[in-house]
Structure 1
Amino acid sequence: MSLIMTGCASMGDAAPQAKRLDPALLDAGTAIAAAERDAGWPAADWWHAYGDPQLDTWIAAALAGNPSLAAAQARVREAQALVREAHAGELPQLNGSLSLMRQHWPDNVYYGPGPLADSNTWNNTGGLNLSYHVDLWGEDKNNTQRALDAAHARAADARAAQLAIEAHVALAYIDFAKNYALLDIAHAAYERQHELATLARQRLQAGIGTQLEVSQAEAPLPDYARQIDSYEEAIQLGRHQLAALAGKGPGAGDALTRPTLALNARAGLPSALPAELIGRRPDVVAARWTVDAQARGIDIAKAAFYPNVNLIASLGGLAVGGAFTTFLRAMNGGWSAGPALTLPIFEGGRLRAQLGAAAAGYDMAVEQYNQTLVGALKDIADSIVRLRSLDTQRKDAARAVALTRRTYDLSHTGFSRGLTDYVNVLLAQSQLLSAQENQTRIDAQRLAAHASLMVALGGGIEPQGDAARDGDGDGDGSAPAANAVADPAAAASAAMPQAPAATPTTAAPASAMPAATSSAVSARSAMLAARIPTATPASAAAMRAPLTPPAATAAP
């Protein structure tokens, strides 16, 4: 064995160089560290917090009909098939062959005279060929595991696509609701201006006003009407956008009614930030599975340097000349069996190049994982800062609306009593309209920021146990002990939902190999089939199942 190993090609110094970042060592920043803990754990159906059944229905429709999500699920099914294909390489291969040939023998100097001269015979052969690759170096096993890791990564990508659809629909719906609110403000402003124009004409008729005041009061009316038309257009475009997100034609959006969600709904920050949730982000999960798949690729490339052993056996019959069934007679049968050994000695650097490429692929996957992890923390921190800032802005905007409304009421009363001119009313009306629109936009931005935070946290998770259900318990802002993070690094290693068992790959017959080998292969086939991720869950809730971490693997 030592002589054989000495004769193998040299691996050289090809080795991975990248190092995975430890989430526990990353500085999360003051925004995340100081996040208030007043909202419990984010729910998987996080948009239900907005209290709009129409939004719930539309997101469900989008998940059922969006082409992008359907394509992502098709990629998962493709990865599943590749897992089964890779696993087939671990099993014995049994093939049959049959050749039926009718031959006429000529009567010439080469064949005659003789028993076959000028006769017709059958030259038939048939047989069974059995081969089994002895996986001494784990090449076949690692090939299957690499395909399985890649399938988990594609399943995580599908979850990311689903989360993106949920976010896009929620954000579009919030914008849809905002345009309805702005339309109300525009209608109210038009009515107030129309009332002021009527009051100006009454003052003119009473001899206490001027034609200039009437013109000043009527001049803004066309612009307010234009704003109404603009918001109605935006509402209709919003219907089209929501219909497209659901994978439907523009006409489907006509079924949408006015949203019932309140733009000023409470949208607090979730507790347990960030370690318990960052590892559940689908993009982080997919990146981690990709790293594991690339690590398997290095092991596969290393196995190519070692001897390759195959067990080969054949059984069959051969008959040159004779009747149709002559080759089936026992006297014409034969068999062969034995090992076949191949040994790489000189490959011109091909194997080292393959190993170097595998190591570089691993480095790229690790750096992509590191970038994804850093980006995830940034997304969370940005969303928290934005949400906290919009909370403050919302309070300021509410005060601005109250003050400008009071100013408008005073100027309107003074104008109606002849105590002030119209310029003050016009200015107060403009300030009130601006303040109301600003407040509405800030409320919408705040809900959108909350939705973005839920997406940054990976779409939320379902509470586990009573401690999680009582996350904000007595309202004192403290996080429950059950939610504490003992190992952020382990939490950030989270991966994919455990899938229902798939159809096991059929093992070779027990007679084709030793009983112990047959049992082991059959058991492994069943175990592997149960681990293949599912591409088409029974419901959207199934795709939002809590994610579980891949087994920790050391860097090659």
Structure 2
Amino acid sequence: MLGGCTVGSNFERPAAPGTTNYVSPGESASVRGAGPVAVAGAGPALHWWTAFGSPRLDELVDQAIAHNASLEASNATLAAAREQVNAARGRQLPQVGVNGRVEHEQVNLAAFGFDNPSGNPEFTLYSIGGGVSYDLDLFGGNRRRVEKAAAQAETQLRQTEAAHLTIAGQVVNQVLLIAAIQARIATAQTLLAEDQRNVDLTQKRQRAGEGTLVEVLNAQSQLENDRGDLPQLGQQLAEARHLLATLVGIPPSELGLTDFDMDRLTLPTQVPVTLPSELVHKRPDILQAEAQLHAATANVGIATAQLYPSITLGATATQGAPDLGDVLGSAFRGFDLFAGLAAPIFHGGTLKAERRAAIDQARAADATYRQTVLDAFRQVADLLKAIDSDNRSVANQQEAVSVAQRSLGLSRRSFEVGNSGILQVLESERLYQRATSNLVEARARQFLNVARLYVATAGGWIGQPALAQR
């Protein structure tokens, strides 16, 4: 009966939201042309990155999960949190200890009022003993401490899951970024070939007496200006590779080939999106906020229990003798049975203030949880709209490239027959360059936003059984 008395409110898991959509009906996506479509349901599969169809990408994610130093630190912190739960549970059981002691001493008889002409006695004492104590935990303070420790371990578990999910997402993002940069480099090299073709045409016309040196210089100027973009793209590619190596836990020199091509990557036609009512039970940051709310609720019980009395039962037994051979003899045995009561009388309002602070902290944790849910829903809503916008943008840019390419062809033929100057060709080429660059950017953004949507709705990380242990 006493064991069933636990003060403080029991934690109740927050109810799932009643909303069924991330965006309002007026914002519902209307897909134009080919592109990924979000499909509401159970959410992404466990290894969601395989949807991009790149074995090398899959290999890099697995390598990051196995060797990323930040994940190793998070895993170790999780193991420590679980041991803290075991430690808290251990304090609920009877505490048993033994002790042994050897001491050599001289007794000062004069301090006790005795007159001993022969001097104070000096002797050696051998003793061995043990004791047991047990806190009845009348009001459940220890039980709430175990509950709090378990909730804190749950917090660390969810944080570790979030770390795994984040690292996987970062690896995928870096791979997609590398593919995008390499697409920009390929586009730049194609444009340089077009620039060189313009230079050759103007030089040919000059030699034939149909062109001027100004036209040649204009074409050469465009070539050199466009050539200046390549070093910056090369630097961006190197930095992206170096960060990818860091994520997978190796030096940049050991990364190996990263010849990712957007044309060889698969853009998923359907992206499974977790329903709002399920997202709150899957997404690690929401589950982490929920566990923090649980710990704060248990802390209110701990602070409340400190306002009430506590009773401790115990016993000790000691064997002590001046000769080692007599230390276990019954004549040298002593024991003690005790029961202790401790109750707070006056602490200057400290205990009540601590309870009020715990209640305020629980309120703060509840508000943080609700804000985390709203932030998660906003993030998913933003990405759903971004995917729709990306589909439109890619379709528009593909049309722009087609028109600019036809315009460039016509301008060049007009220049070759002498109907227009080189400036018109260069202007058409700049429009074509801008259109092709915008298309590459739109496609890269499309890939990245799909990956971000996978991360935003992927739920927890259950790829490593060790993380799911309780």
The TM-score with structure 2 as length reference comes to 0.87
Match of 1:213? Answer: 215
Match of 1:464? Answer: none
Pick which of 23-32 and 290-299 moved more.
Answer: 23-32
In the TM superposition, 1:190-339 aligns within 5 A as 190-253=192-255, 255-262=256-263, 265-266=267-268, 268-319=270-321, 322-339=322-339
Match of 1:152? Answer: 154
How much has 1:84 moved relative to structure 2? 1.4
Match of 1:400? Answer: 400
CA distance in 1, matches of 2:21, 2:194: 53
Pick which of 163-172 and 361-370 moved more.
Answer: 163-172
How much has 1:304 moved relative to structure 2? 1.6
Match of 2:28? Answer: 34
Match of 1:363? Answer: 363
Match of 1:345? Answer: 345
How much has 1:544 moved relative to structure 2? 8.4
How much has 1:382 moved relative to structure 2? 0.8
CA distance in 2, matches of 1:61, 1:282: 22
Q: Which amino acid aligns with 2:181?
A: N
| 2:96 is the alignment partner of 1:94 | yes
Aligned residues of 2:310 and 2:343 also touching (Cα < 8 A): yes
How much has 1:153 moved relative to structure 2? 0.6
* Matched residue SS, 2:138: coil
| 2:181 is the alignment partner of 1:179 | yes
Aligned residues of 1:99 and 1:125 also touching (Cα < 8 A): yes
Aligned residues of 2:19 and 2:277 also touching (Cα < 8 A): no
CA distance in 2, matches of 1:137, 1:281: 35
How much has 1:186 moved relative to structure 2? 0.7
CA distance in 2, matches of 1:360, 1:198: 77
Q: 1:106 to 1:411 in 2, by over 3 A?
A: closer
Match of 1:503? Answer: none
How much has 1:348 moved relative to structure 2? 2.2
CA distance in 1, matches of 2:181, 2:306: 63
Q: Which amino acid aligns with 2:138?
A: L
Match of 1:511? Answer: none
Q: Which amino acid aligns with 1:277?
A: L
| 2:17 is the alignment partner of 1:23 | yes
Match of 1:68? Answer: 70
CA distance in 2, matches of 1:90, 1:33: 55
Aligned residues of 1:139 and 1:303 also touching (Cα < 8 A): yes
Q: Which amino acid aligns with 2:86?
A: R
How much has 1:25 moved relative to structure 2? 5.9
How much has 1:448 moved relative to structure 2? 1.0
| 2:411 is the alignment partner of 1:411 | yes
Match of 1:375? Answer: 375
* Matched residue SS, 1:328: coil
Match of 1:83? Answer: 85
Provide, for residues 427-450 of structure 1, a one-character-per-residue CA deviation record: whole Å limited to 9, x for no partner: 111111110000000111111111
Q: Which amino acid aligns with 1:375?
A: D
Count how many residue pairs are aligned between Structure 1 and Structure 2.
Answer: 453
* Matched residue SS, 1:23: coil
Provide, for residues 480-505 of structure 1, a one-character-per-residue CA deviation record: whole Å limited to 9, x for no partner: xxxxxxxxxxxxxxxx86xxxxxxxx
CA distance in 2, matches of 1:421, 1:106: 119
Match of 1:488? Answer: none
Match of 2:425? Answer: 425
How much has 1:31 moved relative to structure 2? 6.9
CA distance in 1, matches of 2:281, 2:153: 18
Aligned residues of 2:21 and 2:276 also touching (Cα < 8 A): no
Match of 2:32? Answer: none
CA distance in 2, matches of 1:236, 1:57: 20
Aligned residues of 2:397 and 2:438 also touching (Cα < 8 A): yes
